[in-house]
Structure 1
Amino acid sequence: MPERSIKLTDPRTLRAYAHPLRMRLIGLLRSDGPMTATQAAARLDDNVPNCSFHLRQLAKYGFAERVAGADARERPWRATTRYTSWDDDSDDPVMKAATDQLNNVVLALYVQYAQDYLAVRGDEPVEWRAAAGFGDTLLHVTAGELRELTEEVDKLLARYDERVADPASRPPGSRPVKIIQMAVPRGPVNPQVH
């Protein structure tokens, strides 16, 4: 079973991960388990050589690894962790550029997930249309409070981790749902009041 998460701490690894196909491949391996480059290419509507190359790159940086296949010819890949994280608090210009590049790729993927859902939303059962969707909340918090809130949300979501790794633990009627978290500050910091 994969470890829970990997934390990216250097610009080279951040840049290696910041590729749309690589992120989609890791997402697929995490959600659907081990698979070959051929299987991944079919699921992602890409070509086998391209997926194979990017899976090898993911392995080079520790994101994916080979596992035993059903026969000697099969060479499936699996994700080494369930989640990837990184800090965005460095003042080093190279590190800032790498995290900005990765954050831009992540945002583009999030937008694509939302657009894909909207394209099929009309065909969804009413109960799922009512349960899913978009929303936002404006809060006035300190940086420390925001970090605490994010940690609390992470703990809440971690209650469902077992279901990702163990299909037998998924209740009837469940399905994969992508929860996207964004905490985007707006406006200036309020001045200190004495």
Structure 2
Amino acid sequence: MTDEIRLTEATSLRAYAHPLRLRLIGLLRAEGPMTATQAAARLGDTVPNCSFHLRQLAKYGLAERAPGVDARERPWRATAQYTSWDHDSDDPAVRAAADQLSATIVTEYARRAQEYLTTRGDEPAEWRRAAGPGDVLAHVTAEELGELMAQIDALMSRYDDRLTDPSRRPAGSRPVQIIRMAVPRD
């Protein structure tokens, strides 16, 4: 698996802008190679639907076949740990597709947050204190915002080795999705 795959065409951006495809890639990145049957069970979807969407992800270079235990097993894996794209393309079709993908991702983040809030009361106190929503308002220039986002990414990269090497995860650690989003206000 490479570190990053960069989507540059409107067709690949629109292909990725599907809630199940986002969840499938997230699942493969978090848990490693699995079959469409395993993915369907984990995501509460059908095997044919997951199989179709995995093939679509492969068509755009986001997923690929992985070696199986035997000739009958046909697992899939993500091709990269991260997916990136430009939000400021000169091509209006690419910009529109990037906006569509971003909207799908924000909707997925909101779904995950709501899902967490329904079970938050069952979490141990230390996790309830450490996790949850928050925001900060800052008055910055576009250049400063870019620098700030790069600093946040650099801070988070300290934990990248734990994504692919479970032996690097300390006892008591859990997967936590840190959602970073900068939204300029009027």
The normalised TM-score by structure 1 is: 0.94
The alpha carbon displacement at 1:96 in A equals 1.7
Aligned residues: 186
Distance in 2 between residues matched to 1:153 and 1:67, nearest whole Å = 32
Q: 1:82 maps to what in 2? A: 81
Structure 2, unaligned runs of 5 or more: none
1:41 aligns with 2:63: no
Distance in 2 between residues matched to 1:95 and 1:68, nearest whole Å = 34
The alpha carbon displacement at 1:24 in A equals 0.3
Code of the residue aligned with 1:128 in structure 2: it is W
Moved more, 25-34 or 90-99: 90-99
The alpha carbon displacement at 1:91 in A equals 3.5
Q: Cα deviations across residues 122-157 of structure 1 (Å, max 9, x unaligned)? A: 000000000001110000101011011101110111
1:26 aligns with 2:7: no
The alpha carbon displacement at 1:162 in A equals 0.7
Q: 1:110 maps to what in 2? A: 109
Distance in 2 between residues matched to 1:7 and 1:139, nearest whole Å = 29
The alpha carbon displacement at 1:90 in A equals 1.8
Q: Cα deviations across residues 143-189 of structure 1 (Å, max 9, x unaligned)? A: 011011101110111111111101111100000000001100001xx
The alpha carbon displacement at 1:117 in A equals 0.5
Alignment of 1:47-126 (within 5 A): 47-126=46-125
Q: 2:181 maps to what in 1? A: 182
Q: Cα deviations across residues 60-111 of structure 1 (Å, max 9, x unaligned)? A: 1000011111111101000000011111112322112101110110000000
* DSSP-derived class of the 2:77 partner: strand
Q: 1:192 maps to what in 2? A: none
* DSSP-derived class of the 1:6 partner: strand
* Structure 1 residue runs of 4 or more that deviate by more than 3 Å after TM superposition: none
Structure 1, unaligned runs of 5 or more: 188-194
Distance in 1 between residues matched to 2:91 and 2:71, nearest whole Å = 47
* DSSP-derived class of the 1:42 partner: helix
Distance in 1 between residues matched to 2:159 and 2:70, nearest whole Å = 32
Distance in 1 between residues matched to 2:83 and 2:92, nearest whole Å = 22
1:135 aligns with 2:134: yes
The normalised TM-score by structure 2 is: 0.98
Distance in 2 between residues matched to 1:85 and 1:68, nearest whole Å = 26
